[in-house]
Amino acid sequence: MQLQQRITAWLENTFLITQNDQITLNVSYVNATFNEFTYTDAWAGYQDYSDTVMPNAPKWSGTLGYTRYWIFSSGAQLSFEASSKLTQEYYVTFEKYRVDSLQPAYHKTDAYLTYNGADGKWRVSKWIKNIENEAVITYRSPSGLGLAEPRTYGVTFSTKF
């Protein structure tokens, strides 16, 4: 088995649109293929995966984020952050004949509201991840498949000593 990585490009930028507002953008392009790869599967028999796209390698993906900061006269700070990841469809295994090996294109959004105490020694965050509750396949094996976390939300309190 050999990997031939033809093109990989990554662009990441943060734009400060006001003193308290910023936009983050990153875009990734990957073209990764197996040069020579054959495999014998118990169900499908001999398979030649030469010159096929590697698993978990979406050709295009990107993230768009927005953050807003509020700084109070006490020195405390409140911030709101939201980001959405967009990913083109990709296979989660090299066995592309399996119906459930294709992860369709998806977008997943996370958001955070964080309050930092004036002394900088503590903070509390309220967050929600995967707002769309999108089912994302992370891997496929003969015994089943794995899914990324569904919509989750919570509160985190942290302190510094």
Kindly report, residue by residue over 28-56, the tens digit of the pLDDT: 999 888 888 887 877 778 888 888 888 89
Question: Considering only CA atoms, which of 53, 69, 61, 60 is closest in space to residue 114?
Answer: 69
Within a 10 A sphere around the Cβ of 103, how many other Cβ atoms? 23
Entry pTM: 0.85
Q: Cα(110)–Cα(132) distance, rounded to whole angstroms?
A: 9
Q: Cα(110)–Cα(87) distance, rounded to whole angstroms?
A: 15
- The percentage of residues in the chain with a pLDDT greater than 90, rounded to a whole number, is 65
pLDDT of residue 3: 54
pLDDT of residue 85: 97
pLDDT of residue 4: 65
Two tokens, residue 154: 């919570």
Two tokens, residue 112: 């955070």
Q: Cα(99)–Cα(105) distance, rounded to whole angstroms?
A: 15
Question: Which residues does residue 69 pair with via DSSP β-bridges, in sequence order?
Answer: 79
Cβ–Cβ under 8 Å, residues 124 and 156: yes
- Domain ranges within the chain, ordered by starting residue: 14-27+59-159
